[in-house]
Amino acid sequence: MGAGRFAPSPSGELHLGNLRTAILAWLFARSTQREFLMRVEDLDRARAGAEELQLADLRAIGLDWDGPTVRQSDRMPLYSAAIDDLRSRNLLFECYCTRRDIAEAGSAPHAAPGTYPGTCRDLSESEREAKRAMRPAALRLRSETTEFSVTDALHGPFTGVVDDFVVLRNDGVPAYNLAVVVDDGIQGIDQVVRGDDLLSSAPRQAYLAGLLGYTAPGYAHVPLALNAEGKRLAKRDGSVTLGQLAGHGVGPGEARSMMLASLELPTTSLDAALAAFDPTLLPTDPWVFTTDPGEKRGMRLAPENR
């Protein structure tokens, strides 16, 4: 019946916000009798030992998954094949712009801020040759639309910008938007549960999926965990990873209970949470998590929903 997935980047320890999203992805998949797959997105920011630590933390809070863990770094031929397919259909063009070039050029009239202005889309061959001598090219998709619509399980219909986005970086590494689409398509992922900071990426990815012959997955973009300042939870906030919590005597089971409580689900076990899980009843506001040294086990854990 398809599959869901969790796909962390091994750049460091998972914090409670990451783990909470993993729990949600597991609940969505298991409650719909889908497989739940684990994919390590290690094309960009891989830190030695991070993958092993992340997978251990996921197991420590009780999550399981089906089949072997997949790593993007092992799948380069699949991305190359997709790029070759797009190139053969004249759907790619070389781009020599830096981020500064794009920022200074501005966008086309009526285009959303930050979208690619089309600088290199229609260069002549002689212009491309001149630019190749100065810097390597990235490859951008020659998009044939400016927007695309998806339906999200929590946000409903959502229409977002689709510009000429990068599919291959100028260092030869496949871009996130290409790799994730290829992976989801080949793995049979038809349910994507992730943080709502990635909602704006869904239209680009769904559009590209169609071009590559895949059916776009269903999406559920869930609220993030925030710190007391309303910013995305990060390790620097202190006591937000399982390792940090363990230093204050808070074990994985208690941490899991806090995350389940923030979702207004039973806290006794994942099985109990699964039995009660109803996506329509999930909190829609971010989870605000604060810590205050000096109380319980050397700290006060104060998660709350606002």
Nearest to 25 by CA among 55, 71, 65: 65
Tokens standing for residue 249: 């005597």
For residue 235, say whether it is annotated as part of any ligand binding site: yes
One-letter amino acid of 288: V
For residue 303, say whether it is annotated as part of any ligand binding site: no
For residue 304, say whether it is annotated as part of any ligand binding site: no
For residue 8, say whether it is annotated as part of any ligand binding site: yes
For residue 120, say whether it is annotated as part of any ligand binding site: yes
For residue 96, say whether it is annotated as part of any ligand binding site: no
Distance, in Å, from the CA atom of 269 to the CA atom of 257, rounded to the nearest integer, reads 8
For residue 194, say whether it is annotated as part of any ligand binding site: yes
Residue pointed to by tokens 């497989």: 35
For residue 121, say whether it is annotated as part of any ligand binding site: no
Residue pointed to by tokens 């009798």: 33
CB 256 within 8 A of CB 247: no
Q: What count of residues does the chain have?
A: 306
For residue 95, say whether it is annotated as part of any ligand binding site: yes
**Residues 114, 202, 117: CA angle, nearest 5 degrees:** 25
Buried b (16+ CB within 10 A) or exposed e, 210-223: ebbebebbbbbbbb
Sheet hosting strand 225-226, strand order edge to edge:
225-226, 287-293, 299-305
**Cα–Cα separations (whole angstroms), residue 148 to 108, 118, 162, 210:** 18, 18, 6, 11
* Pairing mode, strands 225-226 and 287-293: parallel
Binding site for ATP, by residue number, is 235
Binding residues for Zn(2+): 95, 97, 116, 120
The annotation places the binding site at 5-9, 41, 95, 97, 116, 120, 176, 194, 235
Q: Which residues are annotated as a binding site for L-glutamate?
A: 5-9, 41, 176, 194
